Amino acid sequence: MWGEGEAMVPIGQHLANLRRKGGLGKDPKRAAERAAQLAAIDEDWNCPWPLNWQRHYRVLADLVDADGVLPYIAPGVTFDGDDIGAWRWKQQNAGVQAQLMPEQRERLAKVGIPIAELPQTAPAASRSGKGPSKARQAFQRGTAALTQWVEREGTDRPVPRGHTETITIDGEPVTVKLGVWISNTKSRRDRLETDQLAALAALGMSWAQTSPLPPRPAPRASRTTIRTRRTAIRPSPYVRPQADPVRNTTKNATRSRTTALAHPSEGSGRTPNEKAAVLTCHRSRFP
């Protein structure tokens, strides 16, 4: 809204109506005069690029007009709900600049944003003298819609498959099926060019990031397996086992005790009467 009191005018809606086809009137002369008057106020009033991009750019241009130089703006600094800091540093990315029009890159250079050198690609012979192909135009519409989504919702929130985004091209609203476009572009990412992948990666599409191939592992050295035959060591039947001295001592002691009991009459140092008593006791035990 613009104005005071009852004279408030919805200036945004008014400009949107003027940007439409025939919005300046049916009379060509009057339409040209009105276009010149609007251009005197703002030469980009009917810019061919997205208005969302133009709105962020105007904030930086106003800062340069006020201070003479573009100040440092950290990501997260907002103005009227727009993250101007994140947008400013995103425009410095070479992949993002590759998707911009030459006039947009010129305006970035005016406010002090470095312009990356774009890769030179040889134009196709069958399309010499013509504009971008339909596939390139569709990709530009998709990236414009994705940029508008990221600036509004951020990169952390994924785009639903059924979501549609409305952008403005040549003053006319265009509806882009953003969710379907992202799904189709992801399935065909092997056909995209390097600058297109870089632009998508800058907008938060992790699947578009190009990473170098991992180094090929070195071949393994050949291993020679030596198998040894294990033979169980069995005792020879021709070798007589050695006697256990402990067991032999026990057997000898038992044998001596048995011999003493079996022959009670034998012994040293006993009188005949003692021998007779022992023999009588022995016979009573073993009749």
Residue 281 lies in a domain: no
Calpha distance 276→64 (Å, rounded) = 141
Please provide residue 244's backbone torsions phi and psi, each rounded to the nearest 5 degrees.
-85, 120
Instruction: Please identify, among 208, 242, 262, the residue that sits at the C-terminal boundary of a domain.
Output: 208
What's residue 260's pLDDT? 47
C-alpha 10/C-alpha 201 separation (Å) is 37
Task: Please state, in angstroms and rounded to a whole number, the distance separating the CA atoms of residues 234 and 213.
Answer: 60
**Cβ distance 88 to 73 under 8 Å?**
yes
Taken in order 117, 119, 122, 128, the sign of the CA dihedral is negative
Domain boundary among 177, 208, 239: 208
**Domain span including residue 30:** 8-46
Given 179, 208, 237, the domain boundary residue is: 208
Token pair of 212, please? 């170098």
Please give the pLDDT value at position 64: 92
Task: Give the model confidence (pLDDT) of 95-119 as tens digits.
Answer: 888 888 889 999 999 999 998 876 5
The pLDDT value given to residue 262: 47
Residue 59 sits at φ, ψ, to 5 deg, of -65, -45
Same domain, 19 and 154: no
Q: For residue 286, give the DSSP letter.
A: -
Residue 139 lies in a domain: yes
Nearest to 179 by CA among 201, 159, 156, 152: 159
Could you tell me if 145 and 111 lie in one domain?
yes
Specify if 258 maps to a domain: no
- Whether residue 17 is found in the same domain as residue 103: no
Are 16 and 103 in the same domain?
no
Question: 201 and 180: one domain?
Answer: yes
Other residues' Cβ atoms within 10 Å of the Cβ of residue 183: 13
- Which segments of 111-215 are extended strands (E)? 165-169, 172-176
Residues 158 and 30 in one domain: no
The reply to whether 40 and 174 lie within a common domain is no
52 shares a domain with 32: no
pLDDT tens for the 287 residues of the chain, in order: 555 666 677 777 777 888 888 888 888 888 888 888 888 888 888 888 888 898 899 999 999 998 889 999 998 999 988 899 999 998 988 888 888 888 999 999 999 999 887 655 544 444 444 556 788 888 988 988 888 888 788 888 889 999 998 887 776 788 899 999 999 999 988 888 888 888 888 888 888 876 544 455 555 554 544 454 555 555 555 555 555 555 555 555 555 544 544 454 454 566 777 777 766 765 665 55
Which ranges constitute the DSSP H helices of 20-157?
A: 28-41, 51-67, 84-90, 94-98, 102-110, 134-153
Number of separate domains in the chain? 2
CA dihedral (89, 95, 99, 101) positive or negative: positive
On whether both 141 and 32 belong to a single domain, the answer is no
The region that residue 64 occupies, defined by phi over 0 for left and psi between -120 and 50 for alpha, beta otherwise, is alpha
pLDDT tens digits along 28-37: 888 888 888 8
Residue with tokens 């005790």: 257
